[in-house]
């Protein structure tokens, strides 16, 4: 049992893995089996030739737990690399969200104004609804969603965080 | 070598090319093609088990006593699910096993077909890695990779799930020489800078200790030899976990005995009071540490382990060295000699005086019975009777396991197989059979309890069929003794379902299988009865009737630190030893 006194930290991890059946189940199973948190998870193939996928996991835990998570992930046979972007520092984090708002009259105009100031795009329009597309850091999206809440927010679909380090070097 | 053959033939060819001589298995619908391919060759001998759990434990015993990979072959569905306990056992104790499972044909996967289960899904968390082979042209590569993964780095079990149509399909076989794993390349050599720091720290130690574990055994006999060399060079005391027994000779003066919950007083006190702890291939398991926030509070800790996830998992480490024990100790020895490092002889003499004081408490002492056999007395008598022989010991799980660890002494590695991490009752008999297959001329004894032995007893039939003369030495106290002991400790002596009701007549049972049964309840006749067992050529089930009330001591009660052990001269301390918080722990 690690000391509970250490406060939890939020870390963004980037994993390069073989895109083979079951690899995501291995990673998700590791988190659930060992009681770690997943705040956000994104996965997609990034190299079709070498069949590599990149997974971005955002997790929270005490420093000792974060260290455990990284070494446990690194131990999985199809995992090539584990990089802690939070430790590397200043990484870019982006998330995309599609947000549906329903309303008429003044509420509708207000929603459009807010969308505009957040540089969200309107990707679907009916006489009584909009779907906005917004890209940004997770907290920007949080803020956008909370502003739309009183204006007829219907549903939200978020991709989860994709992240990459700054500068010329790869992970 | 590239050759066209069927999937089933590829499996056999891969086993042959990997140098496999023995495998343990049980046929069924989804592996019949592999059994047919086996029929056409003579290089790999198959041991037919009676239950798939037994097959995996046999493979574990085979692997641990020989240093080779244990191989298992079972069918789909129940064949695979029955193997799960053994696979988990092998994962927790880091034993290299390759388990081949049959699967329903590819087009039926997901249809709830007869004897279908999601084998890779079920075994994902209990294997080091697993594969479902959907294309026969991947099969040879996967087979070779499975052997590589099972025995490289920290060893573990690997499952290869092969649908029946893939076993029939034809494809190109490739030999192991053409296979290199793309990503999995564990690091063997330790970081030289860390090794230099470790040597400096060790050389300046006033109260050092080596805390060694199963990693030393897994690293091979050379690792044990190097550990001995380094320990003698320094004169530092050595203790070991349950899994590491035999890596350091028990007859040596520097040996403190096993540490942990049922370890010796001197080992635990030395761990608590040391100033430099050198952990070699062990993982600070909860049986070892006791209360973590009071674990060895004043020491600087060095941890040598091949698995980075073992570092800082439970205990904060000051100098981690990632690498294989053999390579790391070798480098430590080189650096130690080149730096002309010398231990602090004066401080060390004082440390040994303190340790000898703890030793004088004689924490493993017991009163031998003259009317009833004490379980410790039985293990001791067995040890004295066989210690000069070429002997391998396995155990089941419970009090008898701890008494065996305390009172049977090992001089060499790979001689002691026990289920440490998972604590699997039923491990000992099949493990003994696996050991006997690897060492047909040696004496193999399963030290058992009357409850555990009934969990895989059916394998006695396997022992008879294959002329494997294993000896089963049952300490029969008519209780699930460790459960009873904990009910004494935690639940006011209310023995809820821990009495071994309706026990079979073990002598008749052995005879029913075609083996020999011996019963002994008289201390005066014990040595003679053990001799009779040893003089018997075939398998023997020895029913040793022992004291029902004996508790396994010394003991660190759960939730307590190392320096609050209960010793056999004050057993009454057991009564209120465990706090409310400690009761939550296992």
Band the pLDDT of B576: cuts 50, 70, 90: confident
Task: Give residues with Cβ within 8 angstroms of B501, minimum separation 6.
Answer: none
Instruction: Please check whether residue B403 is in contact with residue B552, taking contact to mean a CB–CB distance below 8 angstroms.
Output: yes
Q: Is A59 helix (H, G, I), strand (E, B) or coil?
A: strand
Q: CA nearest B284 in A: which residue?
A: A1
For β-strands A9-18 and A52-61, DSSP reports them as: antiparallel
On the question of pLDDT at B215 being above 70, the answer is yes
**Domain range summary for chain B, segments of one domain joined by +:** 2-178, 192-359, 375-545
> B441 to chain A, minimum CA–CA distance in Å?
38
Question: Which of B312, B561, B582 is the mutation pick for testing A, counting most A CBs within 10 A?
Answer: B312
CB contact under 8 A, B149 and A1: no
Residue B288 backbone class (left: φ over 0; alpha: ψ -120 to 50; beta: rest): alpha
Domains and CATH numbers, chain A: 9-88 (3.30.70.260), 92-164 (3.30.70.1150)
Query: CB-based contact (8 Å) between B583 and chain A?
Result: no
In this prediction, residues A144-169 reach a mean pLDDT of: 96
CB contact under 8 A, A67 and B312: yes
On the question of pLDDT at A1 being above 50, the answer is no
Place of tokens 């047919």: B36
Question: Which of A77, A79, A81, A84 is the mutation pick for testing B, counting most B CBs within 10 A?
Answer: A77
CB contact under 8 A, A22 and B308: no
Instruction: Please check whether residue B159 is in contact with residue B131, taking contact to mean a CB–CB distance below 8 angstroms.
Output: yes
> A16 to chain B, minimum CA–CA distance in Å?
11
> What's B2-178's CATH class?
alpha beta
Query: CB-based contact (8 Å) between B112 and chain A?
Result: no
Q: What is the pTM of this model?
A: 0.95
Instruction: Please check whether residue B124 is in contact with residue A25, taking contact to mean a CB–CB distance below 8 angstroms.
Output: yes
| Count of A-B CB contacts under 8 Å | 44
> B65 to chain A, minimum CA–CA distance in Å?
26
Same fold flag, B2-178 and B375-545: yes
Contacts of A75 in chain B (CB under 8 A): 307-309
Mean pLDDT of chain B: 96
Architecture of B192-359 per CATH?
Answer: 3-Layer(aba) Sandwich (3.40)
Instruction: Please check whether residue B266 is in contact with residue B256, taking contact to mean a CB–CB distance below 8 angstroms.
Output: yes
Distances (CA, A) of B530 to B46, B519, B521, B542, B544: 32, 10, 12, 8, 10
Annotated catalytic residues of B are 52, 114-115, 164, 482
For β-strands B208-212 and B276-280, DSSP reports them as: parallel
Q: CA nearest B187 in A: which residue?
A: A75
pLDDT in tens, B416-436: 999 999 999 999 999 999 999
The pLDDT > 90 percentage for chain A reads 91
Smallest Cα–Cα separation from B100: which of B18, B174, B171, B184?
B18
pLDDT in tens, A50-101: 899 999 999 999 999 999 999 999 999 999 999 999 998 889 999 999 999 9
pLDDT in tens, B105-122: 999 999 999 999 999 999
Predicted local confidence at residue B384, as pLDDT = 98
For domain B375-545, give the CATH number.
3.40.50.970
In this prediction, residues B180-191 reach a mean pLDDT of: 88
Band the pLDDT of B559: cuts 50, 70, 90: confident
Question: Which of B147, B184, B283, B317 is the mutation pick for testing A, counting most A CBs within 10 A?
Answer: B184
């Amino acid at each position: 049992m690690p000391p509970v006194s250490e406060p939890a930290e939020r870390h963004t991890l980037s994993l390069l893995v073989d895109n083979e059946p079951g690899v995501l189940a291995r990673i998700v199973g590791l988190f659930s089996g060992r009681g770690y948190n997943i705040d956000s998870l994104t996965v997609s193939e990034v190299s079709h030739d070498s069949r590599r996928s990149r997974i971005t996991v955002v997790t929270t835990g005490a420093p000792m737990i974060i260290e455990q998570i990284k070494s446990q992930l690194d131990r999985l046979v199809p995992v090539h690399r584990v990089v802690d972007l939070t430790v590397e520092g200043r990484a870019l984090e982006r998330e995309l969200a599609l947000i549906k708002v329903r309303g008429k009259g003044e509420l509708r105009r207000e929603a459009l104004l807010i969308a505009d100031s957040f540089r969200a795009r309107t990707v679907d329009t009916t006489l009584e609804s909009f779907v906005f597309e917004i890209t940004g850091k997770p907290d920007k999206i949080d803020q956008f969603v909370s502003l739309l809440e009183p204006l007829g927010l219907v549903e939200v679909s978020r991709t989860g965080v994709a992240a990459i380090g700054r500068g010329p070097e790869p992970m | 070598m590239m050759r066209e053959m069927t999937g089933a033939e590829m499996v056999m060819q891969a086993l042959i090319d990997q140098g496999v001589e023995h495998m343990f298995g049980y046929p069924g619908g989804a592996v019949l093609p592999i059994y047919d391919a086996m029929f056409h060759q003579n290089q790999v001998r198959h041991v037919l088990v009676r239950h798939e759990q037994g097959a995996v434990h046999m493979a574990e015993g085979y692997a641990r006593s020989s240093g080779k990979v244990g191989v298992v072959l079972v069918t789909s569905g129940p064949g695979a699910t029955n193997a799960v306990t053994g696979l988990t056992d092998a994962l927790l104790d880091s034993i290299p096993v390759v388990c081949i499972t049959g699967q329903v044909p590819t087009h039926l996967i997901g249809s709830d077909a007869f004897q279908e289960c999601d084998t890779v899904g079920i075994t994902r968390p209990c294997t080091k890695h697993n594969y479902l082979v959907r294309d026969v042209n991947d099969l040879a590569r996967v087979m070779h990779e499975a052997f590589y993964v099972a025995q490289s780095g920290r060893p573990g079990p690997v499952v290869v799930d092969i649908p029946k149509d893939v076993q029939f399909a034809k494809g190109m076989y490739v030999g192991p020489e053409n296979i290199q794993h793309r990503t999995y390349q564990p690091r063997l050599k330790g970081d030289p800078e860390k090794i230099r720091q470790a040597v400096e720290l060790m050389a300046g130690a006033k109260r050092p200790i080596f805390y060694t574990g199963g990693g030393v055994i897994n690293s091979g006999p050379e690792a044990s030899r190097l550990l001995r060399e380094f320990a003698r060079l320094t004169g530092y005391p050595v203790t070991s976990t349950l899994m590491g027994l035999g890596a350091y000779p028990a007859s040596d003066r520097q040996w403190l005995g096993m540490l942990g919950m049922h370890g010796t007083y001197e080992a635990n006190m030395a761990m608590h009071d040391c100033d430099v702890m050198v952990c070699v291939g062990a993982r600070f398991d909860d049986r070892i540490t006791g209360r973590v926030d009071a674990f060895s509070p004043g020491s600087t800790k060095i941890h040598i382990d091949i698995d980075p996830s073992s570092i800082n998992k439970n205990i904060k480490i000051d100098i981690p060295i990632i690498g294989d024990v053999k390579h790391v100790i070798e480098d430590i020895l080189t650096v130690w000699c080149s730096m002309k490092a010398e231990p602090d002889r004066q401080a060390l003499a004082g440390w040994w005086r303190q340790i000898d004081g703890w030793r004088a408490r004689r924490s493993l002492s017991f009163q031998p019975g003259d009317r009833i056999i004490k379980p410790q007395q039985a293990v001791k008598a067995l040890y004295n009777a066989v210690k000069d022989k070429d002997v391998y010991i396995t155990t089941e799980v419970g009090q008898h396991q701890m008494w065996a660890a305390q009172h049977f002494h090992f001089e060499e590695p790979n001689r002691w197989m026990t289920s440490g991490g998972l604590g699997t009752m039923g491990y000992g008999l099949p493990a003994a059979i696996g050991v006997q297959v690897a060492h047909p001329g040696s004496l193999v004894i399963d030290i058992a309890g009357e409850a555990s032995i009934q969990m895989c007893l059916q394998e006695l039939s396997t022992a008879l069929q294959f002329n494997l003369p294993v000896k089963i030495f049952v300490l029969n106290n008519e209780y699930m003794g460790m459960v009873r002991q904990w009910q004494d400790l935690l639940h006011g002596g209310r023995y809820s379902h821990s009495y071994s009701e309706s026990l079979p007549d073990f002598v008749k049972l052995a005879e029913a299988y075609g083996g020999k049964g011996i019963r002994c309840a008289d201390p005066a006749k014990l040595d003679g009865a053990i001799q009779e067992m040893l003089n018997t050529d075939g398998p023997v089930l020895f029913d040793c009737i022992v004291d029902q009330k004996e508790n396994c001591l010394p003991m660190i009660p759960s939730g307590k630190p190392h320096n609050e052990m209960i010793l056999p001269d004050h057993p009454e301390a057991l009564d209120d030893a465990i706090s409310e918080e400690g009761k939550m722990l296992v």
